[in-house]
Structure 1
Amino acid sequence: MLISDKTVAQLLVECLENEGVEYVFGLPGEENIRIVDALSGSSIRFILVRSEQGAAFMAEIYGRLTGKAGVCAATLGPGAINLLLGVADGHLNSAPLVAISAQAGVNRLHKESHQSLDLVSIFKPATKWADMLLTPASTTELIRKAFKQAQSERPGAVYLAIPEDIEAALAPANARPLEVNVVHDDAPSPSQVARASALLESAHNPVILAGHGAVRNQASEALVRFAEKLRIPVATTFMGKGVISDEHPNSLGVVGFMVRDYQNYAFEHSDVIITVGYDLLEFSPLRINPKADKQIIHIHRIPAEVDAHYPIAVGIEGHIPSALDALAAAVSRRYGIPAQDFAARRLRENEIEKGKRNDSFPVKPQRIVADIRAAMEAEDIVLADTGAVKMWMARLYP
């Protein structure tokens, strides 16, 4: 094999450029310094962080906002392990993320040695895919595979370990980044669209639940067209918030976290639930179908997960906007139940208005949410931590 004067670290950075990477978030260390040095001579900006955990969360948010894989980098051992919390969070949130860390040299992996851990086994349970680069010749294939895995539906986190001696090795002379191929969705099945149409024609009180998959697959406009044409109310999950404006007359707001939350009234009285891009990891379907007696039309790019409270009557897998448009064209009925007629919507609007005027002490969460909303523009971004604050923001921040 002909050898070039280019190192694996330099080839790896060329592959990152080929994938369209703009930023790498991370911390340098002795074992990954060649990659950091190669980044300094590339078009990619290295964002230095105070901890690897922060790097992973930054990469996750980049992936959430752009739909492109965010990249984080760390050294071996404890540096790599510090990435794990953000990587796992990104994976559970379906954020495309590529985590790259150094690893002990191949020449010492077989024995007990300084800061050498089985990092691939540590990361596997928290990622879609985890592997280690063991030969210079496989660099281009593994980088392309990492990004393909991270960005394909359902998106998530992947991990690649780079042994320090492989990073420093010379790359094959003919090694070039592989062509980026984009996976395109299938068109929705006409037979499944027809089955869903027949189910909706006989429905009395259908309701839509839009999830994170609708957001990341740019289904907002198609969802609004569908809801308006058929006059069906729409609730969203926490991560689906924003796919339809809370001000839209068909919007019910964010689904309640507890079974008896008032946002869930519409589901209690429905006979058919149309889920659009809903992933069961967002919250349990027990919240919207506690008796497992609703008929569910599942519209997503991927098949539904199995759950006793998520029995699928019809599944339409494929391009979500196309599926919504096809189903809207196939259904002749109009349900004529404006969302504002639901008690849930009135209760939510009343609580928002009451919160704006609440001057009591200690200050109430409703007032805090109202004041934040008043200070922010429509396109501004609010980051809400987990816990009760997440629920207040989801329910009362229009």
Structure 2
Amino acid sequence: MSDEGANKRKASDLFVECLESEGVEYVFGVPGEENLDLLESLSDSSIKLVLTRHEQGAGFMAATYGRHTGKAGVCLATLGPGATNLVTAGAYAQLGGMPMLMITGQKPIKSSKQGRFQILDVVDMMGPITKSTHQLHSGDNIPSRLREAFRLAEEEKPGATHIELPEDIATEETDANPIPASLARRPSAEEKAVRHAVEAIANAEAPVLVVAAGANRRMSSNMLREFVDKTGIPFVTTQMGKGVLDERHPLFLGCAALSSGDFCHRAIEDADLIINVGHDVIEKPPFFMRDAFDDPKACATVIHVSTKTAEVDPVYFPQIEVIGDIANAVWQIKEALEPQPHWDFTRMLEYRQAEHDHSKPLENDTRFPIFPPHLVRQVRKCMPEDGIICLDNGIYKLWFARNYTAYLPNTVLLDNALASMGAGLPSAMMSAMLYPERKVMAICGDGGFMMNSQELETAVRLRLDLTVLILRDDAYGMIRWKQANMGFDDYGLTFGNPDFVDYARSYGAEGHRVTSSEHLTDVLAECRDTPGVHVIDCPVDYSENDRILNHEIKELSAQL
């Protein structure tokens, strides 16, 4: 008897085998009829399907899985409207450096009797927001296309990839087999580049370290900590670099949450050399380079340490580039560099002390509705050292980025890349799934929360333990603030809200309403210590944002 055809199986079965070969644990999504073969294949696999209430929530969860683990998270949608609903999450992962694979269905491509119903060119649509996008034309091509999609999603800079699996391809018979991942390591930085960097740092008078988005990877944290401890060079983080190093460190100068003029920006201006680790163009650097011909004294030397060469623009044109695996590059520099007696960080540390002195009385302001600096302080006191906060997007993000002390990597998940609203709750849900032993809190404005609030049902169904802190100002507060700053009348940015306590209970979650500053402390502790999904309605007072963030901080730091 011939063995020909003995290994034949449905292409959708092979597709799932390839996902298992890549170590996929979850597929998040909203399936449609074009995904039914794949759905059946998933039902007989080791992979857990997490059914969400909207494709965007599925995409945000998959991206957050990638952010935490370094492995591509996987999400699923049907054709047409299902695929378009993944676009925001795809862009979120792509800009934010989060490995993710999007899988979408499609009508039969070899013969179809439905005309153009629901049919868009999804592959073309995904092109600008992914590292790769491909429509499968044969079941035999599934192993190579999936292996390539995962490879591209996970290599530096991580991001989104997309595969379209048409209905008729999913039902094909194939005897192809999964392709295992190859052993690959990123190249090490070139020795001469490291030597130039070490010489420049040693000869500087006041070097400073900037930890940016690309440094927020496994191993980089350990090497950067060793670098700071050995050299004694102070450090600043960008928003996406927050948590890479423990911010309780005495050499931490602050997070560059504001565009300019904050105490940490003044500290950077005092440096004559900047070691910029993991700079990503999605984040504006917390300093502007100046042309040495215009003002030689104002031109600090910038060392660019990253996996890729710098993208030069009018304000960023580093003089030295150390290109290769970031952790290895930092280790090489650290091993060759000794602390120098002529380094002087006095002014930098004075700026940091001034920031502490300015923040302390704000944190103790117990007015009601809750004052943002006091809110940040109470959340920090409530959360354990390894607790995870997941920020949606709104003006409160500036306060948390600037004032919340991060102790460990990936314990402050915020998005300073696409900066999409609606990601806070799904991101927290994914964090709670991955780390059920840790405390997780989503922090959302009322506008951002309502964009994916339906995922409360998903969180309750999955029996997750998490707190959702809704900061209510009954408006799109960030834009309303900018509207006022630009001299426009208050128009078009206020709205009404449901009763969030009743709303939470309608999904089977617990609802809580904050009635005073003291009550906030008690509610946060109760939600932290009680299993289940908890939703907190917390009124906030943003009336001082302009005075403090736009004027007071910048004026005080300029006086030093």
- The TM-score normalised by the length of structure 2 is 0.68
Deviation at 1:318, TM superposition (A): 1.4
Distance 2:87 2:312 in 1: 28
**How many residues are treated as equivalent by the alignment?**
394
Other-structure match for 1:150? 153
For residue 50 of structure 1, the aligned residue among 17, 31, 53 is 53
Distance 2:31 2:137 in 1: 21
**Is 1:279 paired with 2:280?**
yes
Other-structure match for 1:228? 229
Q: Is the 8 A contact 1:8 1:169 kept in 2?
A: yes
Offset from partner CA, 1:101-142 (integer Å, 9 cap, x none): 001211358994211110011111111111110111111000
Structure 2 residues not aligned, in runs of 5+: 292-298, 406-560
Distance 1:240 1:63 in 2: 16
Report the residue type matching 2:35 in the other structure.
N
Distance 1:377 1:42 in 2: 36
Other-structure match for 1:73? 76
Offset from partner CA, 1:33-75 (integer Å, 9 cap, x none): 1111111110100001101111000001111111110000011
For residue 128 of structure 2, the aligned residue among 125, 128, 133 is 125
SS in 2 for 1:312: coil
Distance 2:129 2:402 in 1: 29
Distance 1:181 1:352 in 2: 50
Report the residue type matching 2:277 in the other structure.
V
Distance 1:255 1:337, change over 3 A: farther
Other-structure match for 2:316? 310
Other-structure match for 2:189? 188
SS in 2 for 1:10: helix
SS in 2 for 1:46: strand
Distance 2:182 2:313 in 1: 34
Distance 1:330 1:146, change over 3 A: same
Distance 1:113 1:256 in 2: 47
Distance 2:63 2:123 in 1: 19
Identity %: 36
For residue 372 of structure 2, the aligned residue among 347, 365, 370 is 365
Aligned counterparts, 1:33-44, within 5 A: 33-44=36-47
Q: Is the 8 A contact 1:196 1:314 kept in 2?
A: yes
Distance 1:139 1:220 in 2: 36
Aligned counterparts, 1:1-398, within 5 A: 3=5, 4-107=7-110, 112-171=115-174, 173=175, 175-281=176-282, 283-285=283-285, 287-289=286-288, 291=290, 293-334=299-340, 336-337=343-344, 342-398=349-405
Deviation at 1:275, TM superposition (A): 1.0
Q: Is the 8 A contact 1:272 1:296 kept in 2?
A: yes
- The TM-score normalised by the length of structure 1 is 0.94
Q: Is the 8 A contact 1:88 1:127 kept in 2?
A: yes
Distance 1:384 1:360 in 2: 23
Deviation at 1:330, TM superposition (A): 2.1
Offset from partner CA, 1:254-295 (integer Å, 9 cap, x none): 1242221222011111111101112121x223x412535321
Deviation at 1:228, TM superposition (A): 2.2
Distance 2:161 2:300 in 1: 36
Q: Is the 8 A contact 1:256 1:264 kept in 2?
A: no
Deviation at 1:198, TM superposition (A): 1.7
Q: CA RMSD in A?
A: 2.0
